[in-house]
């Protein structure tokens, strides 16, 4: 089976102001239906690796393939399109657009992809909110939601274009234990029931324990994995 | 463009969340456009009124018995390729007056819709009650001259056609009559350089304040053509042909064509008023420079609004980019914000400008004790210029911050937020 993500000896070095290696020689692969946690101390390069895997950043060396497609030589437009279509992001801070309702936030990626009609988009956005337990909150703006609700909207938005890959950066960092359990359960369901590849950067031992595999990083390197 | 509506919706959401700043930016553009319309309306209105007066005050083309340069020597025409020098040439004394003027007149009248009249102009001295004044007497055909310029509307005390009823009639200007102490009905003694003396009765006065668009100066006087010919002892001679065209804008072209054919000097109203028209161009440049500055200042408001929006929305930009929105998408969002502010501002400005023009048209102004109605230009052209210039300024003002927004590195923002 082709891995959803395959990173091969990926490094990322900042040249300015002084040379600094964020990620060094990292190799990993994520298969469909797999939930992988990347763990390690702060500043070890977890988030940097996630941005590389999600095509938000380009490696200084090494290669990353998404769905078996090598991405180094792709132009920015193609990489952006892959992000739009194949990758969903969930961050520690929900990053919902404060001007838009929950429904409008979830609809954003679908409207940009423009594969569905307006009615279909509204229907799917409502269904996604329902799925994360926010069926009643579709018309709410982020300012009127709790932290857990916002994060659930962010998950629904990440799933809007039905991506094969879900990348999350400290998704439970701002959540209480009940919401943390809800997020973990949702990630597991997305991986195990829907066959998506879920990569989760986390400090949270509960999240790490819930993952199928854990990758440990230190000083930019992958030092262990199970 | 695929997915454009979502970009416009995000832009609209940004603007609506920053109502106060959006309103200030819209007001800036609105005031700029409104005052642009009011100022340009006054300036162009007065200019058009002035040019109309220039056109109406005299015939569109005047042919006179002068030549722009001495006639070419026959030897030069006989040997066009040769090096010919003609020495000791003295131009022949020409008999004054237009030769074969009926043919010239017929040619001028051949222009569709044109009216042309023969005129004999000469200097005379008029005497009344011991006072003497110099007058430039125009011997005219009153039936045709009335169609050439708005002289009839400027007359007081009589009509142009009265000259036909009284061949010894003369029309002088009111200031001239005031200087002589004469009134309509008084008889002046008129003497010409030919030594002829004639008593002529004032049948009407030209009023310089009539604002009918006609006034040829204080010393102009009008009499019958045949009376002038007798006075100047030049029977059947005319030295000017006055032409009025259906379209004054063709005067320069028609004058050049007639001059090329007949040799005499045919002067269009544009050539006659060249210095004034050049001044008007300079005035236009100054006007547009000043009122464009208003629009540029208004665009600073847009720049500030969009810049602040970009600064506030860096995280949103980063997440949009992470979601799969392109750099161009981000640029379009902020350009649309600037354009929307500009567009709403332009519409507000159109309303304000229209109100200001309306107020100016009813302003209780007087000149010389008489009510003065400001000539205002309310043409669509000014609206188009103001609207177009404002939208271009808005786009430029928004483009700089939009470009900055597009260049935001999402990783840098996300890393900072983590």
Backbone angles phi and psi of A38, in degrees to 5? -105, 120
Asked if B236 and B102 sit in the same domain, the reply is yes
Q: Which residues contact A115 (CB under 8 A, 6 or more apart)?
A: none
Give me the pLDDT at residue B131, please. Answer: 92
Residue B327 sits at the chain A interface (C-beta within 8 Å): yes
Burial of A156 (0-12, 13-18, 19+ CB in 10 A): buried
Q: Are residues B227 and B333 in the same domain?
A: no
Q: Are residues B41 and B124 in the same domain?
A: no
What CATH number corresponds to the domain at position A183?
3.40.50.300
Closest to A47 (Cβ–Cβ): which among B5, B325, B415?
B415
For chain B, count helices (H), then strands (E). 15, 12
The distance of A99 to chain B (nearest Cα, Å) reads 6
Q: Give per-residue pLDDT as tens, B362-404.
A: 888 877 677 778 888 888 998 999 999 899 989 999 999 999 9
Query: Nearest chain B Cα to A86, which residue?
Result: B324
B212 or A171: which carries more pLDDT confidence? Answer: A171
| Inter-chain CB proximity B323 and A77 less than 8 Å | no
Q: Which of A9-18, A68-77, B196-205 has the highest mean pLDDT?
A: B196-205
Q: For residue A96, which phi and psi values (nearest 5 degrees)?
A: -75, 150
pLDDT, one tens digit per residue, over A172-189 is 877 788 888 888 988 999
| B17 closest CB neighbour out of A99, A157, A169 | A99
Same domain, B48 and B162: no
Average pLDDT along chain B:
87
Helices (H), B18-126: 19-57, 74-78, 101-109
Looking at the structure, tell me whether residues B122 and B239 fall in a common domain: yes
Residue B334 lies in a domain: yes
pLDDT 10s digits, B51-80: 887 787 778 999 998 887 777 777 778 888
What does the pLDDT read at residue B92? 62
* Structural domain contains residue B403: yes
What pLDDT score was predicted for residue A14? 86
Establish if B349 belongs to a structural domain.
yes
Classify residue B253: in a domain, yes or no. Answer: no
User: Do B378 and B310 share a structural domain?
Assistant: yes
CB contact under 8 A, B3 and A104: no
Is B329 in CB contact (< 8 Å) with chain A? yes
Contact B139, B176 (CB under 8 A): no
The region of weakest confidence among A135-149, B15-29, B86-100, B305-319 is: B86-100
Domain around B303: 4-55+276-417
- Identify whether residues B230 and B298 lie together within a single domain: no
Rg (CA), chain B: 33
Give alpha helix (H) positions in B58-98: 74-78
Q: Does B6 touch chain A if contact means CB atoms closer than 8 Å?
A: yes
Residue of chain A whose alpha carbon sits nearest to that of B2: A114
Q: Tell me the shortest Cα–Cα distance from B411 to chain A, in angstroms.
A: 7
B2 to A114: CB separation less than 8 angstroms, yes or no: yes
Tell me which of B12, B319, B321, B325 to substitute to probe the interface with A (most A C-beta atoms closer than 10 Å).
B319
Residue B402 near residue B338 (C-beta atoms within 8 A): yes
Question: Does residue B264 lie in a domain region?
Answer: no
Question: Has residue B261 been placed in a domain?
Answer: no
Q: B9 — contact with chain A (CB < 8 Å)?
A: yes
* Residue of A16, A48, A80 to mutate for B, most B C-beta atoms under 10 A: A80
The CA distance from B125 to B31, in Å, is 59
pLDDT in tens, B130-149: 899 999 999 999 888 888 87
Q: Determine the number of helices (DSSP H) and then strands (DSSP E) in chain A.
A: 7, 10
Per the structure, the count of domains in chain B is 2
Residue numbers in B near A170 (CB within 8 A):
418
- CA dist A38 and B352 (Å) reads 62
Site from B4, B332, B418 to mutate, A interface, most A CB atoms within 10 angstroms: B418
B240 plus B283 within the same structural domain: no
Count of the separate structural domains present in chain A: 1
B255-310 pLDDT, tens digit per residue, is: 999 999 888 899 998 898 888 888 888 988 888 888 788 888 888 888 888 888 88
Q: Which of A51, A112, A114 is opposite residue B325, by nearest beta carbon?
A: A112
pLDDT score for A201: 92
Residue of chain A nearest B326, judged by CA positions: A80
The domain in which residue A143 lies consists of 5-225
Quick check: is B181 in a domain?
Answer: yes
Residue at which a domain ends, from B244, B263, B287: B244
In a domain, B249, yes or no: no
- Nearest CB partner across the interface for A93, out of B3, B329, B417: B417
Q: Is B415 on the interface with A (CB under 8 A)?
A: yes
Residue contact B323–A112, C-beta within 8 A:
yes
Helix (H) or strand (E) holding B191: strand B187-192
Q: Do A112 and B411 touch (CB under 8 A)?
A: no
Model pLDDT, residue A120: 93
Judge: A98–B16 Cβ closer than 8 Å, yes or no: no
B183 and B114 co-located in one domain: yes
State mean pLDDT over B91-112.
84
How far, in Å, CA of A224 to CA of A206, rounded? 18
User: Cα–Cα distance between B298 and B387 in angstroms, integer?
Assistant: 13
Residues B28 and B120 in one domain: no
Among A75, A89, A108, A114, the strongest candidate for a mutation testing the B interface, having the largest count of B CBs within 10 A, is A108
On chain A, the residues whose CB falls within 8 A of the CB of B329 are 112
Give me the torsion for CA of B25, B31, B33, B38, rounded to 10°.
180
Q: Does B285 lie in the same domain as B193?
A: no
Is a pLDDT exceeding 90 seen at residue B331? yes
In chain B, which residues have their Cβ closer than 8 Å to the Cβ of A89?
319, 322-323
- DSSP code of residue B152: G
Residues B101 and B222 in one domain: yes
Q: Does B413 touch chain A (CB under 8 A)?
A: no
Give the whole-angstrom CA distance, residue B156 versus residue B177: 12
């Amino acid at each position: 089976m082709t891995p959803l993500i395959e990173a091969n000896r990926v490094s990322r070095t900042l040249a300015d102001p002084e040379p600094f290696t964020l990620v060094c020689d990292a190799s990993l692969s994520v298969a469909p239906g797999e939930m992988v946690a990347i763990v390690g101390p702060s500043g070890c390069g977890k988030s940097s690796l996630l941005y590389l895997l999600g095509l938000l950043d380009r490696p200084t060396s090494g290669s990353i393939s998404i769905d078996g497609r090598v991405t180094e030589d792709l132009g920015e437009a193609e990489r952006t399109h892959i992000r739009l279509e194949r990758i969903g992001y969930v961050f520690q801070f929900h990053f919902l657009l404060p001007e838009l309702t929950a429904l409008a936030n979830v609809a954003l990626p679908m409207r940009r992809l423009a594969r569905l009609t307006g009615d279909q988009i509204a229907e799917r956005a409502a269904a996604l909110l329902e799925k994360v337990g926010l069926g009643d909150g579709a018309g709410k703006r982020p300012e009127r939601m709790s932290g857990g609700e916002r994060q659930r909207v962010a998950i629904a938005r990440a799933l809007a274009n039905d991506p094969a890959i879900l990348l999350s950066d400290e998704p439970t960092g701002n959540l209480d234990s009940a919401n943390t359990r809800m997020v973990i359960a949702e990630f597991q369901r997305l991986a195990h029931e829907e066959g998506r590849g879920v990569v989760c950067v986390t400090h949270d031992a509960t999240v790490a324990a819930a993952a199928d595999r854990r990758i440990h990083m230190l000083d930019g390197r992958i030092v262990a994995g199970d | 463009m695929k997915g454009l509506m979502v970009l416009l919706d995000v832009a609209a959401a940004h603007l609506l969340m920053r109502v106060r700043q959006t309103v200030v930016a819209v007001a800036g553009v609105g005031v700029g456009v409104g005052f642009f319309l009011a100022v340009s309306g006054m300036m162009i209105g007065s200019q058009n009124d002035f040019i109309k007066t220039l056109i109406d005050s005299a015939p569109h083309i005047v042919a006179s018995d002068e030549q722009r340069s001495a006639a070419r020597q026959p030897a030069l025409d006989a040997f066009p390729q040769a090096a010919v020098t003609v020495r000791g040439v003295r131009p022949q004394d020409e008999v004054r007056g237009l030769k074969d003027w009926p043919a010239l007149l017929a040619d001028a009248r051949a222009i569709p819709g044109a009216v042309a009249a023969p005129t004999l102009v000469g200097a005379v001295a008029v005497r009344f009650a011991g006072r003497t004044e110099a007058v430039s007497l125009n011997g005219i055909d009153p039936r045709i001259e009335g169609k050439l310029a708005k002289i009839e509307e400027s007359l007081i005390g009589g009509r142009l056609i009265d000259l036909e009823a009284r061949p010894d009639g003369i029309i002088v200007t009111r200031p001239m009559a005031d200087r002589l102490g004469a009134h309509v009905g008084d008889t002046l003694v008129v003497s010409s350089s030919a030594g002829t003396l004639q008593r002529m009765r004032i049948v009407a006065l030209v009023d310089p304040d009539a604002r009918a668009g006609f006034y040829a100066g204080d010393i102009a006087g009008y009499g019958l053509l045949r009376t002038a010919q007798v006075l100047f002892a030049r029977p059947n001679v005319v030295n000017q042909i006055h032409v009025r065209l259906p379209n004054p804008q063709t005067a320069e072209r028609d004058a050049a064509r007639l001059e090329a054919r007949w040799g005499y000097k045919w002067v269009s109203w544009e050539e006659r008023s060249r210095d004034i028209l050049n001044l008007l161009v300079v005035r236009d440049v100054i006007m547009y420079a000043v009122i464009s500055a208003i629009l540029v200042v208004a665009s600073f408001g847009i720049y500030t609004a969009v810049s602040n929006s970009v600064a506030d929305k860096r995280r949103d930009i980063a997440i949009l980019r992470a979601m799969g929105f392109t750099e161009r998408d981000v640029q379009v969002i902020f350009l649309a914000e600037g354009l929307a502010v500009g567009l709403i501002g332009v519409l507000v400005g159109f309303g304000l400008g229209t109100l200001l023009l309306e107020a100016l048209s009813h302003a209780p102004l007087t000149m010389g004790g008489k009510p003065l109605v400001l000539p205002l230009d309310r043409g669509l052209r000014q609206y188009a210029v103001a609207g177009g210039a404002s939208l271009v300024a808005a786009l430029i003002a928004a483009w700089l911050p939009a470009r900055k927004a597009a260049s935001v590195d999402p990783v840098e923002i996300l890393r900072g937020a983590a």
